[in-house]
Amino acid sequence: MTAPPSALPPVIADWFAARDWSVHPHQHAMLERAAVPALLLIAPTGGGKTLAGFLPTLAELGANPAPGLHTLYISPLKALAADIRRNLATPIAEMGLNIRVEDRTGDTSQTRRRRQRADPPHILLTTPESLALLLSYEDAPRIFAGLERVIVDETHALAESRRGDQLMLGLARLSALCPGLRRVGLSATVEDPPALAHFLAPHPDPCAVLIADSGPAPDITMLDTPTPPPWAGGGGRHAIPAILDQIARHRTTLIFHNTRAQAELFFRDLWLANADNLPIAIHHGSLSREAREKVENTMVTGGLRAVVCTGSLDLGIDWGDVDLVIQVGAPKNVKRLVQRIGRANHRYNAPSRALLVPANRFEVVECLAALEAVREGDLDGEPRGPGARDVLCQHILATAAAGPFNADTLFAEVTRAGPYTALSRPQFDACLEFAATGGYALRTYDRWQRLMQDADGRWRLRDPRIAQTIRMNLGTIVDAETLKVRLKPSRGGAPLGEVEEAFAATLTHGDTFLIGGQVVRYEGLREMVVEVTRSPAREPRIAVFTGTRFATSTRLADRILALFREGDFSALPSHTADWLALQGRVSRLPTPERLLVETFPRDGRHHLCVYGFAGRNAQRTLGLLLSQRMEDAGLAPLGFVATDYATLIWGLEEITAPANLLESNALTAAFEGWLARNAVMKRTFRTSAVIAGLIERNQPGKRKSGRQATFSSDILYDTLMKYDPGHVMLDITREEAMKGLVDFGRIEAMLARVQGRIDHIACPRATPLAAPLFLEAGRIPLKGMAEQRLIDEAAARLMEEAGLGQAHAHHAEKGV
Amino acid sequence: MNGHRFTLAGAELCVMPSGALWWATERILTVSDLHLGKSERVARRGGPLLPPYDTDETLARLENDIAATDPARVICLGDSFDDDLAARTLPDMARARLLSLMAGRGWVWITGNHDPGPNGLNGAQLAQTALGPLTFRHVARPDSAPGEVSGHYHPKARLTLAGRRITRRCLLTDGHRAILPAFGAYTGGLAMDAPELDALMQPGAVAVLIGPRPSPVPMRPAGRLRNTGRGS
């Protein structure tokens, strides 16, 4: 294809020609449509998307641009911003263009940030959080004066979280500051391009969509291993010899795992088996920045043959040398699998090569279903819900930090953002009221005032000094509470990564655990840092990370159930086919029209297993609902664990009539009342409360402390439930919980599907299909009667062990 | 009502499910660290606008315990108010509820680090008070005589039982002193293995977990007498 001469300036054309590169059709198209106000480019990974996004900017700026910000580039990763800066520097220099490119992220120094505000570069590369911060400054209009284009990279990934909500509010603000601003979105292949365009559009104006050629079909197969995958659990360690063999036969291999814990375990065993000392590294989100950067840099220079990684490498740096992607564990979601596969062979028109490694026998089935879906191009995805209103609360505060605002104008502005087009005025007003006064039913105190209206009705900060606190608390990523892990100062003090506080709390002196592929020994806690030493221990514990885990998509689950119903396992390896046959003999196989429920005893507890195939989140909600009903029935449930296909509940009493617990109307009726009380709601509340500014993560001049001064967000939740149940934060919490973690819609769909056809099988022991559940992380404890029973039992035992039994035993009677 | 009874310097005491301490023979009810007016103080100082219901909730708990025990005397062990201004600007409704609780019984306000000044309420305001074998003060003194009852630290226990983590407020006692948990609604806690608490409590100290049935557990795991200073 030849572009019209007007679209591709000679300097750019010459540069491509000098490299013997051809301009991709979609890169031409981006130049031709440079004047379109909003444009979404959807291209497969490796399609030269980023360059396509920047070409119009380079063409417009030309050799000697006037000073001032021309293009803002936003990516979800700090590392990506830095990488793009390096990658842009080369063509800009070689084309002889006098264009200044700088990045600005949380890692940028104060000095540099101040200079950027005073004298912005032509192209500024940043993240949604840094943009929100820039927009909260009073001089935002001056910083962004003259801005022509904004490029949103990895739009599909940003649209999956609140970061996308925050960014779209930011773009609405930018469009108000810079009329005529054009926006471009860059996205990997998605199942519903119009929905993504709606997300990005400057409403009521539309966003056009440009879909690039999807390239050749990927070369993807299941890895055949001499050793069958284990019956349960996994992590793919059975496949290590076969995977090492693949690494040796390729230039660079990315080995994706679904969880950090599995990546750690796998990496350790891979390293032990690595007789040829191939350079292999590990990369995941809980490792220290230093450790991750070292891996990334070595990767870029071609110094690594393989990287064991998690979703932390789903996005980002173009590694042209990757020629094989291995997905260990079932992919859960076909769209994400296709995007991961695209990481191999970052050359347009070259097929990506990928291998799936099921980690256990159930995953063999899931991988088979996923392979079929990839071949048929059957992508999955759940529709995006409305924008989170906790993010809106934060945006209102940030807007006030930038200067006084008019409520009508701000409402008009935020409803131009895709996620908030359906926001009602009362919803907006409730968020504004929350930001201003806390929005409580009780109105007695004039002290509850963060914003106030001035004489002409504009809202402003009551105390301008809190602008700093607002800025320090911007951002929508609320992590589980974690503690940093570092080597003891006497051993170098190097930061290794972080573990969740809940895991750290279970460690005692001398315990060993895995982090960054090393076994370390817990030495103690010093100023909220876990200090460790290296340890030669062979049986370390595994740090549990409860990071984001995606639910198996409805479409993939349906494919698996259909496979079971057909009963034709000939496409499966014999070990898996035999296992399913065994399940069929011992119990039976789940099918789409019926609900299989098993009960069995194990380890002195009674177990109930429900195979709903509704995805991890819905199965967890089912666990919470069922355990509540069990608690009410005096069945003393202790806890449960949920996977994508089943929920396993254990307790002190045997379940003889599970069908009663699962009765559809009762479950649905119980849902509303139950929703208020469960742990998922409290976790969701904490996240929303932090984002909305009810809980401050950071305060100026104050050291973060976990001492008496801070108290649990659960207390705030309980107080609101008791005294102010109609409060907007509870409303927001319900909406956010329903979106992802609760997913009650899939339970309703499952109940509608089975229409009361429940098969209860009582077994003498755990069944083949139930076995993997015992190795699942993320067990959820229940705080019912059973907890008090445990405390009663343990208290006596612990006192006895400590030799304190006599002194206190006779007092533990009923008093008063 | 379920409670846990123990003896301190010869006094028979009972830890109530709320975290209050009941001395039946003297009819004395002791509560610590009410932090009344906390949300108001935070809002006044430009902090987050917390739900303004903490004072109501704390008073409701106190009303419960007073109704259950009908004490002759109530001792508030300090930090009863989140600051002195919070005491003086207590909303009328809350003040009325407090006054009706105080009517007809003795009331001692021990001063704490949060509320060192006059609170403008009836009752005796004291730095400390001794009654029989017991001495009541806000912060424990390392060199105190046996029978010291104090608050200040908001002790809480973290246990891992049957693979689960349980966090509860707790009362610490070792036969020499007792450190009460915070009674107020908006109060966090200090883990009982913190060095400050470890240094105060003798070997064999017990943590009474606050809950529907207060239960004693060892303050330190079996086999460890005192913290070695390496942290835990």
**Tokens encoding B227:** 């913290």
Alpha carbon distance A342, A336 (integer Å): 10
The share of chain A scoring above pLDDT 90, in percent, equals: 42
* Residues comprising chain B, all counted: 232
Domain ranges of chain B: 4-218
pLDDT tens string A54-92: 999 999 998 889 999 999 999 988 777 877 888 888 889
Yes or no, beta carbons of B218 and A801 under 8 Å apart: yes
Alpha carbon distance A523, A532 (integer Å): 5
Q: How confident is the model at residue A567 (pLDDT cuts 50, 70, 90)?
A: confident
Residue found under tokens 């919803």: A427
SS3 B61: helix
> Element (H or E) spanning A253, and its range?
strand A252-256
ipTM over 0.95: no
> Element (H or E) spanning A252, and its range?
strand A252-256
Report yes or no: A799 at the B interface, CB cutoff 8 Å.
yes
Chain A residues closer than 8 Å to B153 by CB: 708
Residues with Cβ within 8 Å of residue A116, at least 6 apart in sequence = A102, A104, A108, A124
Alpha carbon distance B116, B78 (integer Å): 9
Yes or no, beta carbons of B232 and A723 under 8 Å apart: no
Phi, psi of A587 (to 5 degrees): -135, -115
Q: Which of A290-299, A524-533, A781-790 has the highest mean pLDDT?
A: A290-299
Nearest to A523 by CA among A476, A487, A493: A487
A508 Cα to chain B: minimum distance (Å): 7
Antiparallel, parallel or unpaired: β B28-31 and B21-23? antiparallel
Report yes or no: A727 at the B interface, CB cutoff 8 Å.
yes
- pLDDT (average), residues B95-120: 95
Dihedral sign, Cα of residue A708, residue A713, residue A718, residue A721: positive
Alpha carbon distance A415, A571 (integer Å): 51
Alpha carbon distance A790, A638 (integer Å): 9
Q: Looking at residue B227, what is its pLDDT?
A: 43
Give the mutation candidate from A523, A719, A783 for the B interface (greatest B CB count, under 10 A): A719
Q: Looking at residue B231, what is its pLDDT?
A: 34
The share of chain A scoring above pLDDT 70, in percent, equals: 87
Yes or no, beta carbons of B160 and A506 under 8 Å apart: yes
Nearest to A253 by CA among A318, A319, A188: A319
CB B42 within 8 A of CB B52: no
Residue A759 forms beta bridges with which residues?
A596
**Tokens encoding B54:** 């903490």
The answer, yes or no, to whether residue B224 has pLDDT greater than 90, is no
Chain B residues closer than 8 Å to A639 by CB: 164
B39 Cα to chain A: minimum distance (Å): 9
HEC readout, B130-169: EECCEEEECCCCCCCCCCEEECCCCEEEEEEECCEEEEEE
Q: Looking at residue A444, what is its pLDDT?
A: 64
* Rg, chain B, Cα only: 17
Tell me the CB-side half-sphere exposure of residue A493, using CA atoms within 13 A: 3
Chain A residues closer than 8 Å to B158 by CB: 505
Nearest to B161 by CA among A505, A777, A499: A505
Q: Looking at residue A741, what is its pLDDT?
A: 65
Which spans in A9-48 are helix H? 10-18, 25-32
**Tokens encoding A211:** 């879909």
Q: How confident is the model at residue A798 (pLDDT cuts 50, 70, 90)?
A: confident
pLDDT tens string A237-289: 899 999 999 999 999 999 998 888 788 889 988 998 999 999 999 988 788 87
Yes or no, beta carbons of B204 and A694 under 8 Å apart: no
A720 Cα to chain B: minimum distance (Å): 7
A397 Cα to chain B: minimum distance (Å): 12
Closest-CA residue in chain A for B55?
A719
Q: Looking at residue B9, what is its pLDDT?
A: 96
- A146-174 core/surface letters (b: 16 or more CB in 10 A; e: else): ebbbbbbbbbbbbbbbbbbbbbbbbbbbb
The answer, yes or no, to whether residue A434 has pLDDT greater than 60, is yes
The CATH classification number of B4-218 equals 3.60.21
Architecture, CATH, for domain A10-211: 3-Layer(aba) Sandwich (3.40)
**Tokens encoding A794:** 């343990």
- pLDDT (average), residues A687-703: 82
Yes or no, beta carbons of B188 and A708 under 8 Å apart: yes
Pick B164's closest partner by Cβ from A707, A781, A807.
A781
Q: How confident is the model at residue A5 (pLDDT cuts 50, 70, 90)?
A: very low
Q: Looking at residue A480, what is its pLDDT?
A: 64
The answer, yes or no, to whether residue A636 has pLDDT greater than 50, is yes
pLDDT tens string A676-685: 666 668 888 9
Q: Which of A363-367, A772-776, B123-127 has the highest mean pLDDT?
A: B123-127
Alpha carbon distance B95, B111 (integer Å): 18
CB A779 within 8 A of CB A640: yes
Q: Looking at residue A706, what is its pLDDT?
A: 43
Yes or no, beta carbons of A526 and B231 under 8 Å apart: yes
Q: Looking at residue A106, what is its pLDDT?
A: 79
- pLDDT (average), residues A638-659: 90
Pick B54's closest partner by Cβ from A437, A444, A719.
A719
CA A475 to chain centre: 15
B137 Cα to chain A: minimum distance (Å): 18
- pLDDT (average), residues A420-426: 98
CB A746 within 8 A of CB A554: yes
Alpha carbon distance A111, A115 (integer Å): 6
A135 vs A131, A139, A207, A367, A654, CA distance in Å? 6, 8, 23, 45, 58
- pLDDT (average), residues A24-47: 90
Q: Looking at residue A46, what is its pLDDT?
A: 67
Q: How confident is the model at residue B60 (pLDDT cuts 50, 70, 90)?
A: very high
Give the mutation candidate from B217, B225, B226, B227 for the A interface (greatest A CB count, under 10 A): B217
Looking at residue A181, its amino acid is: L
Q: Looking at residue A800, what is its pLDDT?
A: 74
CB B192 within 8 A of CB B180: no
pLDDT tens string A484-518: 888 887 767 788 888 777 677 667 777 788 887 77
A window 367-406, beta carbon within 8 A of B: none
Yes or no, beta carbons of A811 and B46 under 8 Å apart: no
Report yes or no: B213 at the A interface, CB cutoff 8 Å.
yes
Q: Looking at residue A42, what is its pLDDT?
A: 94
Report yes or no: A722 at the B interface, CB cutoff 8 Å.
yes
Yes or no, beta carbons of B163 and A524 under 8 Å apart: no
Report yes or no: A525 at the B interface, CB cutoff 8 Å.
yes
| Lowest-pLDDT range of A43-47, A222-226, A450-454 | A43-47
Q: Looking at residue A2, what is its pLDDT?
A: 42
Query: What DSSP state is assigned to residue A417?
Result: B
Rounded to the nearest 10 degrees, how much is the dihedral formed by the CA atoms of A620, A747, A755, A576?
Answer: -60
Alpha carbon distance A17, A3 (integer Å): 14
> Element (H or E) spanning A718, and its range?
helix A713-723
Q: Looking at residue A462, what is its pLDDT?
A: 93
Residue A542 forms beta bridges with which residues?
A514
Yes or no, beta carbons of A816 and B154 under 8 Å apart: no
Yes or no, beta carbons of B53 and A811 under 8 Å apart: no
B188 Cα to chain A: minimum distance (Å): 4
Instruction: Tell me which long-range contacts A748-751 makes (C-beta under 8 A, separation of at least 24).
Output: A748/A668, A749/A554, A749/A614, A750/A595, A750/A612, A750/A613, A750/A614, A750/A618, A751/A662, A751/A664, A751/A667, A751/A668
Q: How confident is the model at residue A704 (pLDDT cuts 50, 70, 90)?
A: very low
A686 Cα to chain B: minimum distance (Å): 13
Q: Looking at residue A784, what is its pLDDT?
A: 65
Report yes or no: B23 at the A interface, CB cutoff 8 Å.
no
Q: Looking at residue A240, what is its pLDDT?
A: 94
pLDDT tens string A160-213: 889 999 999 999 999 999 999 999 999 988 889 999 999 999 999 999 999 998
CA A609 to chain centre: 27
Q: Looking at residue A339, what is its pLDDT?
A: 80
Report yes or no: B163 at the A interface, CB cutoff 8 Å.
yes
CB B140 within 8 A of CB B77: no
* Mean pLDDT (chain A, rounded): 85
Report yes or no: B166 at the A interface, CB cutoff 8 Å.
yes
DSSP labels, A448-483: --SEEE-TTS-EEESSTTHHHHHHHT--S--PPPEE
Alpha carbon distance A603, A220 (integer Å): 41
SS3 A38: strand
pLDDT tens string A8-18: 888 888 988 98
Write out the CATH class of domain A219-375: alpha beta
Yes or no, beta carbons of B160 and A505 under 8 Å apart: yes
Whether A10-211 shares its CATH topology with A219-375 is answered yes
Domain ranges of chain A: 10-211, 219-375, 389-472, 482-542, 583-789
Alpha carbon distance B188, A705 (integer Å): 11
Alpha carbon distance A276, A711 (integer Å): 52
Looking at residue B215, its amino acid is: S
Alpha carbon distance A178, A181 (integer Å): 6
